[in-house]
Structure formats: structure tokens, C-alpha cells
């Protein structure tokens, strides 16, 4: 009988040791890397996508601050987002500044950029031919590379996808419907 209890005790001891060992092994084992499913709308160089929805009022504040920081006061103008995009500013002509106002219809392009189509242009109280003034503005000022002026088409393309945002983030325009106040962007975080 002594041998029987001895073997039962050793068996129970081995079972306890195996159980505790298995639990410790599972606790200290590294977490398995789960494969991340690729999202087809995220560019391959990006790891995460954030959707940002905003209003016309908030976009006006952000755009004017960005213009001030990006251009450093080289051009005196501001942007207002209402039912259309209004660009107000002043052009130095003959040692004096003359106010101008340009209005654009804005549309998001499929590639994530923003197309501004000229609707009207006033210099002081005079309405001028859009193509000529856009050409003058293009020749007179140095704009960032991501602003493409097309005077003959009376358009400006804001290459949102080319804007160097903080820490290498990429931005893409998803929706830009000012009349419905439906504005959204995607922000991509690089790998």
C-alpha cells in the first residue's frame, strides 16, 4: 500500500507542476502579432487613417492661421469659407495697396486635392477679367509648390496631398461641400 500512495503522490505532484508550468508558460509567452488587414483607401506608405470632419467656420480659422504661418506675411490676404471660397487681400500697385476679392467654387477631386474654380474677381470696385488677374497674381507672388494656378482655365488647384503637414502626415480631401457645410478630410500617419 505504501508504494501505491507514493506513486499517487508523485503523479499528483507532477500534475500540479505541469499545470503551474503551463499557466506560467502561457502568461509569459509574447502576444502573437495579428495580421493587420490593409484598407484599400489608405495609401501604402501609411499605417493609420483618421477622418476629420469640420465646419466652414472652423476651416476658415485653420486656413488663415496656416496661410499666416506658411507665407509669413508675404501676401496680405485672408480666406473665408461660406457658400463659396472668398479670398480677400491687397495688392501693392504704385506704392499703394488696392483691395481685391476673389470668389471660387470649391470641389474635392478624386485624387484628394481641391479644385477652386473662379466665379468672380474685383479689384477695388472694378470687376476684371479673371484670367488676366490670375496671371498677374501668379507672376507677382511666389506661392507654395502645392498651389497650382491655371489662369487660362480660371482655376487654382490646391494640392492638399502635397502639403507638408507636421511630422510627415499626409492629408486628403474627401468631401468639400460648402453649401451643405459638409467638409471632411483624411489624415494619414506614416509608417
pTM above 0.75, yes or no: no
Query: CA 102, CA 110: separation in Å to the nearest integer?
Result: 25
Query: CA 8, CA 167: separation in Å to the nearest integer?
Result: 65
For residues 18-42, average pLDDT: 54
- For the cut 80, the answer to whether the pLDDT of residue 93 exceeds it is no
Those residues with Cβ within 8 angstroms of residue 157's Cβ, 6 or more apart along the chain or in another chain = 109, 113, 114, 115, 116, 147, 148, 150
- For the cut 70, the answer to whether the pLDDT of residue 29 exceeds it is no
| Mean confidence (pLDDT) of the chain | 78
In the numeric block, which cell numbers belong to residue 159?
494640392
pLDDT for the residue numbered 146: 83
pLDDT tens digits for 139-157? 777 777 888 888 888 888 8
For residues 67-75, average pLDDT: 68
- For the cut 60, the answer to whether the pLDDT of residue 28 exceeds it is no
Please give the backbone phi and psi of residue 97, each rounded to the nearest 5 degrees, phi first.
Answer: -100, 130
Query: CA 40, CA 88: separation in Å to the nearest integer?
Result: 39
pLDDT for the residue numbered 162: 83
Range list of β-strands (E), the chain:
46-54, 76-81, 85-93, 96-108, 114-123, 126-127, 147-150, 155-158, 170-177, 182-190
Report whether 147 contacts 137 (CB < 8 A): no
For residues 74-86, average pLDDT: 84
For residues 96-116, average pLDDT: 87
In the numeric block, which cell numbers belong to residue 168?
510627415
Query: What confidence tier does 80 reach under pLDDT thresholds 50, 70, 90?
Result: very high
Query: CA 79, CA 75: separation in Å to the nearest integer?
Result: 12
pLDDT for the residue numbered 57: 93
Task: Among 1-5, 117-121, 170-174, name the one with the lowest average pLDDT.
Answer: 1-5
pLDDT for the residue numbered 154: 87
Query: CA 144, CA 86: separation in Å to the nearest integer?
Result: 19
Compute CA distances 157 → 30, 57, 113, 125, whole Å: 49, 21, 7, 26
Amino acid at each position: 500500500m505504501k508504494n501505491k500512495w507514493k506513486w499517487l503522490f508523485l503523479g499528483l505532484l507532477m500534475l500540479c507542476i505541469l499545470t503551474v508550468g503551463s499557466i506560467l508558460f502561457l502568461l509569459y509567452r509574447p502576444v502573437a502579432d495579428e495580421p493587420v488587414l490593409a484598407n484599400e483607401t489608405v495609401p501604402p506608405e501609411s499605417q493609420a487613417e483618421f477622418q476629420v470632419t469640420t465646419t466652414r467656420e472652423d476651416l476658415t480659422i485653420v486656413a488663415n492661421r496656416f496661410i499666416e504661418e506658411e507665407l509669413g506675411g508675404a501676401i496680405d490676404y485672408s480666406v473665408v469659407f461660406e457658400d463659396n471660397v472668398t479670398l480677400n487681400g491687397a495688392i501693392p500697385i504704385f506704392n499703394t495697396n488696392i483691395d481685391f476679392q476673389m470668389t471660387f467654387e470649391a470641389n474635392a477631386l478624386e485624387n484628394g486635392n481641391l479644385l477652386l474654380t473662379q466665379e468672380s474677381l474685383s479689384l477695388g470696385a472694378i470687376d476684371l477679367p479673371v484670367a488676366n488677374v490670375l496671371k498677374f497674381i501668379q507672376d507677382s507672388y511666389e506661392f507654395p509648390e502645392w498651389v497650382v494656378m491655371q489662369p487660362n482655365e480660371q482655376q487654382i488647384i490646391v494640392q492638399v496631398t502635397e502639403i507638408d503637414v507636421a511630422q510627415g502626415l499626409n492629408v486628403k480631401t474627401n468631401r468639400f461641400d460648402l453649401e451643405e457645410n459638409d467638409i471632411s478630410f483624411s489624415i494619414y500617419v506614416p509608417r
